[in-house]
Amino acid sequence: AQKITQTQPGMFVQEKEAVTLDCTYDTSDPSYGLFWYKQPSSGEMIFLIYQGSYDQQNATEGRYSLNFQKARKSANLVISASQLGDSAMYFCAMRENFRYKLIFGSGTRLLVRP
């Protein structure tokens, strides 16, 4: 069965530094997709980045990059040059191929210190 694990309930980072949020997953399907979402205190869920299991290169979107290590089944989110507005909950999620549903991890709360 598919499963997403985020082992860091909370993290701090200094403004302008880089931070890595961990995500490991479990699936027996060779084809799947991995997502990261951000949830600020306002509650809205904001899509950040996507990585397909067959993508050869790590996904990047602006200051966000996904460190995809397929053999280790990890999909860590890297935020470069942290900003105060990056303080939020971050969720890792996965969808197996031909499945409708997205399965989420328990989330990591990131606090950016000035």
Partner 1 sequence: DVKVTQSSRYLVKRTGEKVFLECVQDMDHENMFWYRQDPGLGLRLIYFSYDVKMKEKGDIPEGYSVSREKKERFSLILESASTNQTSMYLCASSLDGATNEKLFFGSGTQLSVL
The residues that touch partner 1, with contacts defined as CB under 8 A, are 4, 6, 9, 31-33, 35, 42-45, 47, 50, 52, 91, 93, 95-107
Q: Which residue has the tokens 């997205």?
A: 102
Strand partners, 39: 89
For the beta carbon of residue 54, count every other beta carbon within 10 angstroms. Answer: 10
In the chain, helix, strand, coil percent, each to 5? 5, 55, 45
| 63 versus 99: smaller Cβ distance to partner 1 | 99
Q: Quick one: DSSP state of residue 73? A: T
Shortest Å, Cβ 24 to partner 1: 14
| 15 versus 54: smaller Cβ distance to partner 1 | 54
Shortest Å, Cβ 14 to partner 1: 26
| 56 versus 114: smaller Cβ distance to partner 1 | 56
Shortest Å, Cβ 109 to partner 1: 10
